[in-house]
Structure 1
Amino acid sequence: MSVEQDVKVVESCMVTPSEETPRKGLWISPIDLTWATRGHTPTVHLYLPGSGPVDGFFDVPRLKAALAKALVAFYPLAGRLGMDSNGRAEIDCTGEGALFVVALSDLTVEDFSKLKPSRELKRLFIPRVEDYSPPLMCGLQVNFLKGGGVAIGMTLHHTSADAMSAFHFLQTWAAFSRDAAAAAALELPCHERTLLRPRSPPVVHPDALTVFCPRVGKSEPPGAVENVIFVLSKDQVDAIKRACTGRADGGRVSSFCAVSAHVWRCLCVARQLPADATTRLTFPANIRRSLRPPLPDTYFGNGIVMLGAVAKVQDIVCSDELASVAGRIRDVIRRMDDELVRSVIDHLEMAGSQTFMPSGRMPVTELKVVSWRGMPVYDADFGWGKPVAMHRAVQPHGGIICLIDDDGGSMRIVLSAEPGIVKDFERLLHAKF
């Protein structure tokens, strides 16, 4: 498929906030800084015309007016990535606006449903924010599909927001599109990023860095990546949890710990890693409730730190050790308290640019699990019904698994890995316990 053949851009403009917003350099936390070189996070939501009122289905003037209102509250997204007088990255709140693109696609809803996260999907449905300097914070593209249906492509610079913050913004834009009352019911974002300011003097607790993972191994040159979506039914998720506890009700292990343990094992086996090799699972953990006092749930920015568990491959793949693997992950999560998070922030501030996450491919011994479970992934109703599908448009490299809630308590597993191991991974993923 060629972009020129399948997508025709009919409008491209900057949508600015509908009211005056603060014009300033917004200080960003040491956690935000770790994402400064990682660029934008692209996601796509699919909407069907039969899922809500069809009058004016995704009316463009209505969407633009709603976006202008949403950008008043989320004014950093109307800015640009800049530098302060000391050469430290910041968000330059200029009010210049977010990129808004309207496109017509030759693809149908059926064609879209066959697409997996890929560079192709990104090219087709995500606006080209890479063409702008200084970097934009936000780009949005409304793609009208042939025969009905709309795909909303959104890309936010990772310095500006983590997944929870991104979905908060999307919900707000959608609420303004529905009606003012819906928007008024949403909580406003908190832009006080100094809540994550390092301590003076900085103090790094000696145990904090044993579970904190600022880097995911030594980056390797990019290689071929296959992106595949699998679904675990609710019964399969429950069976995995029972395997981690030996109890009929799944016991006291979370779905995240249980499924992460299972996919870690599956990937180690599919990759045929040596038994004595050291493998590591890393994952972004939400710190909002771990701090004392807690961060507001509406904190807008990056409220995540990378945690990790390390083990020998033989300890992960042993047939009777799934409960132990889940326990390793659970123990790491339990250690995340105010002192650990504050130590991480202090460490990041002292390390400076050395903490920037590398690009390229992770070693085959590494796995990163990103969970969007429990987030309002499907709550962005613009007035014509909720989305019927959502996923990230592209994964940057192999060795990543994304967990997303699906219908009826099932779970979608979005795998990005080297092509040769996908079939074995699928067989192991769906093996009976």
Structure 2
Amino acid sequence: MSSQSVKHISECFVQPQHASDESKQPLYLAPTDLPMLSAHYIQKGLLFAKPPEAMNDHKKADFINALLEKLKHSLSLALVHFYPLAGRLATKKEENPPLYLVYIDCNNSPGAKFIYATVDLSISDILSPTDVPLVVQSFFDHDRAVNHDGHTMSLLTAQVTELVDGIFIGLSMNHCLADGTSYWHFFNTWSEIFQAQTQTHASQNNNIIPYISRPPVLKRWFPEGHDPIISLPYTHPDEFIGRFEAPKLRERMFHFSSEALAKLKAKANAEAKTTKISSFQSLSALLWRCITRVRRLPPSQSTSCRLAANNRARLDPPLSGDYFGNSIHPIKSEVVTAGELLEHGLGWAAWKLHEAVVNLDDKSIREFIDAWLQSRMVYQIGQFFDPHSVMMGSSPWFNMYGNEFGMGKALALRSGYANKFSGKVSSYPGGERGSIDLEVCLVPDAMGAIECDHEFMEAASVTHY
């Protein structure tokens, strides 16, 4: 399978169906957006089975051509609502007074990118191997690109990769514009418009901008009293752009059924003598403990676990759940030693995570943002890559499997190369209600060890797609 390569058949740019007056103005990035300039794009996608008619040699070309046209047309309609995704980044520099302003320019861009590609592989070739095949990384645009590259690259690319018996739809989105909540908001809206257009048979209505259930809030959030024009303390991108390369990793999907999660939650709460620990906090504690154990760290080695948290509802007043931008915070547990973590049980570790979650409130978020505004910097992925800690990303509460493009529910979700390192765990909704799938990235020795770890494998099972 390693010899099979993805072939790009065609590519084009897609503009919003109509340009609004707002889209002709610069969009200034918020204090929660600008630190992401050196991080990777977000790369997530869904694998669908081809419908029976698409497997017929005589109808195959008709199916794929019709699918591509519908996808491009619905994308152009979705971009009317999410017009910043059709823009490019731009930088304005001045010497006196000093100014280094990165913003979104929607006037000087060819639009979002759309790629059609093929690969001579089957669904089974992607889902059956123990590890996620490396070829999946080629199902996405912007491989190894950082967000600052959005000055010359598209801020959004949709890549449709045709397999022998399946279709993979992968989106690559600039992380300066959006976090995971906003990413899936766009994906959901694109799907919603696609389905609405499929039901509309009158051709004269095809270009009408459809009603959508969740219009995005595009106006950026800035703390009270702060100018929306934020100058960075740099003179050249070389001062803040880093090209992080992860060590050799194994990437594997593990499934946690609703029953397994309920047992973990009950165990953690019983050990901590509480009822407040959530299923996800219990699951994160399991990963933290088990990964720490298989790494064979010295007992005195410091370790922590971080969770990607949505700030929207934590702010006072809260932001709309449809706020389109970055509103996330990496909640960090209390730093403990590997010896302490492993000497205590699941409940002890889960309570540490629970406390960190509870302590993230409006006051702490604003203090963090104010501190950044006082000392502005761009984060490096290497800062998040701690070989002794664990980072839990994404969320099982995103509506990932609600996206349909005329092929029914997706069979599986997979991601690209972006933002991965040893100890990075991404959580997705599982195939059945209440379950969670985890995408675990570890160096080969640690992955081999966790596959033999009794505590971990007692709770986990191989994804069953």
Partner residue in 1 for 2:374: 350
1:91 is matched with which residue: 76, 101, 104?
104
Q: C-alpha displacement at 1:240, in angstroms?
A: 1.1
Q: Counterparts of 1:111-150 in structure 2 under 5 Å? A: 111-114=125-128, 116-117=131-132, 119-123=134-138, 125-128=139-142, 130=145, 134-146=152-164, 148-150=165-167
Residues 53 and 383, structure 1, Cα contact 8 Å, conserved in 2 = no
Letter in 1 for 2:222: L
Give SS of 2:332's match: strand
Residues 189 and 212, structure 2, Cα contact 8 Å, conserved in 1 = no
Deviations along 1:307-366, whole A, 9 cap, x unmatched? 201212222112x5321211111111111111111111111222212x413438823212
Residues 162 and 304, structure 1, Cα contact 8 Å, conserved in 2 = yes
Inter-partner Cα distance in structure 1 for 2:225 and 2:396: 32
Residues 6 and 135, structure 2, Cα contact 8 Å, conserved in 1 = no
Inter-partner Cα distance in structure 2 for 1:117 and 1:34: 30
Inter-partner Cα distance in structure 1 for 2:268 and 2:154: 44
1:61 to 1:289, Cα distance in 2 relative to 1, 3 A? same
Partner residue in 1 for 2:118: 104
Deviations along 1:371-406, whole A, 9 cap, x unmatched? 411110111112331212112223532110112121
Q: Counterparts of 1:25-36 in structure 2 under 5 Å? A: 25-36=26-37
Residues 401 and 415, structure 1, Cα contact 8 Å, conserved in 2 = yes
Letter in 1 for 2:160: V
Q: C-alpha displacement at 1:281, in angstroms?
A: 1.0
Partner residue in 1 for 2:176: 159
Partner residue in 1 for 2:44: 43
State percent identity of aligned pairs. Answer: 25
Runs (4 or more) in structure 1 with deviation over 6 Å come to: 51-55
Letter in 1 for 2:249: V
Q: Counterparts of 1:10-409 in structure 2 under 5 Å? A: 10-21=9-20, 22-50=23-51, 56=63, 59-85=67-93, 86-94=99-107, 96-114=110-128, 116-117=131-132, 119-123=134-138, 125-128=139-142, 130=145, 134-146=152-164, 148-180=165-197, 184-193=211-220, 195-197=221-223, 199-200=225-226, 222-246=246-270, 251-309=275-333, 310-318=335-343, 320-353=344-377, 355-359=378-382, 362-395=385-418, 396-408=420-432, 409=434
Give SS of 2:339's match: helix
Partner residue in 2 for 1:430: 457
1:171 to 1:61, Cα distance in 2 relative to 1, 3 A? same
Residues 20 and 72, structure 1, Cα contact 8 Å, conserved in 2 = yes
Residues 126 and 141, structure 1, Cα contact 8 Å, conserved in 2 = yes
Inter-partner Cα distance in structure 1 for 2:459 and 2:82: 46
1:291 to 1:128, Cα distance in 2 relative to 1, 3 A? closer
Letter in 1 for 2:446: I
Inter-partner Cα distance in structure 2 for 1:404 and 1:432: 16
Instruction: Name whichever of 408-417 and 180-189 sits farther off.
Output: 180-189
**How many residues get paired?**
409
Inter-partner Cα distance in structure 2 for 1:158 and 1:119: 22
Letter in 2 for 1:48: A
Inter-partner Cα distance in structure 1 for 2:125 and 2:298: 40
User: Structure 2, unaligned stretches of length 5 or more?
Assistant: 56-61, 94-98, 201-209, 228-242, 461-465
Q: C-alpha displacement at 1:220, in angstroms?
A: 9.1
Deviations along 1:134-174, whole A, 9 cap, x unmatched? 2321011111111x310011100110111110111111111
Partner residue in 1 for 2:232: none
Residues 80 and 91, structure 1, Cα contact 8 Å, conserved in 2 = yes
Letter in 2 for 1:415: V
Q: C-alpha displacement at 1:65, in angstroms?
A: 0.7
Give SS of 2:154's match: coil
Letter in 2 for 1:35: M
Residues 42 and 122, structure 1, Cα contact 8 Å, conserved in 2 = no
Give SS of 1:290's match: coil
1:301 to 1:25, Cα distance in 2 relative to 1, 3 A? same
Instruction: Name whichever of 46-55 and 376-385 sits farther off.
Output: 46-55
Letter in 2 for 1:83: T
Q: C-alpha displacement at 1:2, in angstroms?
A: 6.4
1:293 to 1:351, Cα distance in 2 relative to 1, 3 A? same
Instruction: Name whichever of 252-261 and 91-100 sits farther off.
Output: 91-100
User: Structure 1, unaligned stretches of length 5 or more?
Assistant: 202-218
Q: TM-score, normalised by structure 1?
A: 0.87
Inter-partner Cα distance in structure 2 for 1:264 and 1:99: 38
Inter-partner Cα distance in structure 2 for 1:220 and 1:93: 28
Inter-partner Cα distance in structure 1 for 2:312 and 2:383: 29
Letter in 2 for 1:190: V
Q: C-alpha displacement at 1:280, in angstroms?
A: 1.3
Deviations along 1:188-225, whole A, 9 cap, x unmatched? 111111x2346559xxxxxxxxxxxxxxxxx9974221
Partner residue in 2 for 1:415: 440
Inter-partner Cα distance in structure 2 for 1:278 and 1:118: 33
Residues 117 and 394, structure 1, Cα contact 8 Å, conserved in 2 = no
Give SS of 2:42's match: strand
Inter-partner Cα distance in structure 1 for 2:63 and 2:185: 25
Instruction: Name whichever of 343-352 and 126-135 sits farther off.
Output: 126-135
Residues 227 and 415, structure 1, Cα contact 8 Å, conserved in 2 = yes
Q: C-alpha displacement at 1:184, in angstroms?
A: 2.2
Give SS of 1:87's match: strand
Inter-partner Cα distance in structure 1 for 2:141 and 2:257: 34
1:343 to 1:128, Cα distance in 2 relative to 1, 3 A? closer
Inter-partner Cα distance in structure 2 for 1:176 and 1:258: 37
Give SS of 2:391's match: strand
